[in-house]
Structure 1
Amino acid sequence: MSTLDRRVVTLIKQVVTWLVDRDFVAAEARSRGVRLSADLMRRAVEEYGRTLVLPPDEAFLDIDAIAVANSEGRIWSIRFDLWTQEEGRSDLSLECTAVIDRSTLQLEIENIHVL
């Protein structure tokens, strides 16, 4: 985690907050709707059938992020466990790609699914 840019951690926190708040449109807009639409995000959360909650701050110290080798700019493939009121850390995960190109930070939400 020490090599993961703090801006990426901040962005993951924001995306998780949008998911918890059920603001799937904001999450889609931030990821430019490249891979996962607001409707698909909503469906994944609803089908899981539990209430998303914000994880403790410590959870963001353990983001599963892998740097993509031989890539232009800095690219990370990220998996983050979502938390629910019923379970705490759940089996539902957010998968996304973060790209830092010069000073620009882009995000693509790829999947929300059970592992």
Structure 2
Amino acid sequence: MDVQQIISMLKPLVENLVEGEYQLIQLTGRSGPYTSEELKELVEEYGGKLTIPPDEDYKNINIIEVEEESEYFIEYELWVDGEKSDLTLSCTIRFTEDEVRIMIENIHVL
């Protein structure tokens, strides 16, 4: 498992969420089972404003190997109003011979 590669997939997704680029997330196949409107609702229901976390916070990713180093389940606590929150981004990262894909599984309070 290459943690840096996982971070390189997670970081742009978090940045897109912070910028409210839900349609871009959906168009690039990273929204999982959600539409762009549903992603927006999940974030807005929590309240506050998503903010960019400091780079060193990406060391706090919860990474669970799903099967033989080809798939990982990731949980990352998003930052709201400049502070770490309990609003958690859950996603799956799949490594194949051709590509690496990240997809949102849920955005929820842990």
Cα gap change, 1:94 to 1:60, in 2 (>3 Å): same
Does residue 36 of the first structure (1) align with residue 31 of the second (2)?
no
Where does structure 1 lack aligned partners over 5 or more consecutive residues?
A: none
- Asked if structure 2 preserves the Cα contact closer than 8 Å seen for 1:4 and 1:65, the reply is no
Counterpart CA distance in 2 for 1:108 and 1:45 is 16
> Which residue of 1 is the match for residue 104 of structure 2?
109
Structure 1 range deviating more: 22-31 or 46-55: 22-31
TM-score w.r.t. the length of structure 1 is 0.86
Does residue 97 of the first structure (1) align with residue 61 of the second (2)?
no
TM-score w.r.t. the length of structure 2 is 0.90
Q: CA deviation at 1:33?
A: 4.2
From 9, 12, 32, give the equivalent of 1:11. Answer: 9
Q: CA deviation at 1:102?
A: 1.4
Which 4+ residue blocks in structure 1 deviate beyond 6 angstroms?
Answer: none
- 1:35-75 superposed Cα distances (whole Å, 9 cap, x missing partner): 122111100111111110001111111111111135xx610
Counterpart CA distance in 1 for 2:30 and 2:106 is 14
From 80, 85, 89, give the equivalent of 1:84. Answer: 80
CA RMSD of aligned residues (A): 1.7
- Asked if structure 2 preserves the Cα contact closer than 8 Å seen for 1:31 and 1:109, the reply is no
Cα gap change, 1:40 to 1:53, in 2 (>3 Å): same
DSSP-derived class of the 2:67 partner = coil
**% identity of equivalent residues:** 31
